[in-house]
Structure 1
């Protein structure tokens, strides 16, 4: 990508320099209703006009992309919010699993290896 920039920039710079050297005649700039006039080299007038056009075009494109940048910013904020929600949900799930493990631990003395007595069946005696 860096080489592509140089491949494009160097010829444009060379053309601008050649244009400036070839067009050194002085021109007078005047804006009709205003009494001001300015004398400057022709190359300066042309290059300033190109620069103004470039900046105006850049501003128009930047302004046209405003809604896309706004949407991307909103979606980025939404992603951050959802990631935070996922982390909080994972923390709650971990805490719940920890509490469940604590509650399902055997009661003191029950896990000693002694047999746990089975529920005895009661027999009813009948009176005659």
Structure 2
């Protein structure tokens, strides 16, 4: 299925401005019709879902752009893309450790107040 930029914007939750910015930055590369209008495919939808996941887990836009550029180059960049994802995975594990530590400390503080009351 093909989507116009406005349909794709509604589908992904990204504004048209953001989609155009991502295209300018090389993160998104929609196909063009004969009249030069953009159109997006289900493949683009899946790619945007992955971008959303990377953004929501704290990957900087600079690294997302780097990943997108490598992706455009094809399978010969699989090693570099994997290394970027491993680096991000390690960052997320570190963040989980930090958050779990904060959670444990909050739990202790709540227990202190429960005992006090």
TM-score under structure 2 length normalisation = 0.37
Q: Which has the larger radius of gyration?
A: 1
Higher strand share: 1
Higher helix share: 2
Compare relative contact order (CA 8 Å, sep 6+) and give the higher one, 1 or 2: 2
TM-score under structure 1 length normalisation = 0.35
